């Protein structure tokens, strides 16, 4: 039962069933999607931590969260799912992912776009963030995970 206390990062858009090594929805690796229910809490936290670090890396380059409390209030008021103990930059992503088409003033949510992104439409920015997050996850997989699978496959 303890391994069910940490929720799955799944967003219901799994592409690993189509052969992707990194899910285009949640950005987990194929083996993490397959074995998630068998992972203990430490393994699940490690996955969540990697996802948080990669997403926050992308988000920090795009915007500044100047009032995390206001952002959290807005997420709660709009009933947008977020992980409270994650970085406020992950919260910002959840807001943009769910509200890109209806948000007119990011400052009302406690954040502002970096100057080079201020002319971007939020749906375009959301899509760019998602692509960059996916590419970082894929690069992480190729750098750190794939060599281990290859080594195991050839008996090294």
What does the pLDDT look like over 26-36, one tens digit per residue? 999 999 999 99
pLDDT for res 15: 82
pLDDT for res 19: 81
Across the range 56-69, mean pLDDT stands at 98
β-strand partners of 7: none
Nearest residue to 24 (alpha-carbon basis) of 9, 14, 34: 14
β-strand partners of 111: 65
Tell which phi-psi region holds residue 47, choosing left (phi > 0), alpha (psi between -120 and 50) or beta: alpha
β-strand partners of 65: 111
* pLDDT over threshold 50, residue 3: no
**Cβ atoms of 76 and 82 closer than 8 Å:** no
Residue-wise pLDDT for 34-45, tens only, equals: 999 999 999 999
* pLDDT over threshold 70, residue 155: no
Question: What's the pTM value of the predicted model, to 2 decimals?
Answer: 0.89
Distance of CA 145 to the CA centre of its chain: 18
> DSSP code of 64?
E
């Amino acid at each position: 039962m303890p391994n069910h206390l940490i929720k799955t990062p799944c967003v219901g858009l799994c592409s690993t069933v189509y052969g992707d090594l990194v899910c285009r929805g949640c950005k987990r690796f194929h083996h993490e999607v397959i074995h998630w229910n068998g992972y203990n809490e430490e393994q699940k936290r490690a996955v969540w931590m990697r996802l948080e670090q990669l997403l926050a890396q992308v988000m920090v380059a795009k915007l500044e969260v100047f009032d995390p409390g206001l952002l959290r209030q807005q997420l709660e008021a709009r009933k947008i799912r977020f992980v409270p103990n994650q970085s406020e930059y992950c919260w910002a992503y959840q807001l943009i992912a769910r509200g890109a088409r209806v948000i007119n003033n990011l400052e009302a949510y406690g954040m502002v776009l970096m100057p080079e992104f201020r002319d971007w439409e939020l749906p375009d920015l959301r899509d760019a963030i998602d692509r960059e997050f996916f590419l970082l996850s894929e690069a992480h997989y190729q750098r750190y995970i794939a060599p281990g699978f290859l080594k195991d496959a050839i008996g090294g």
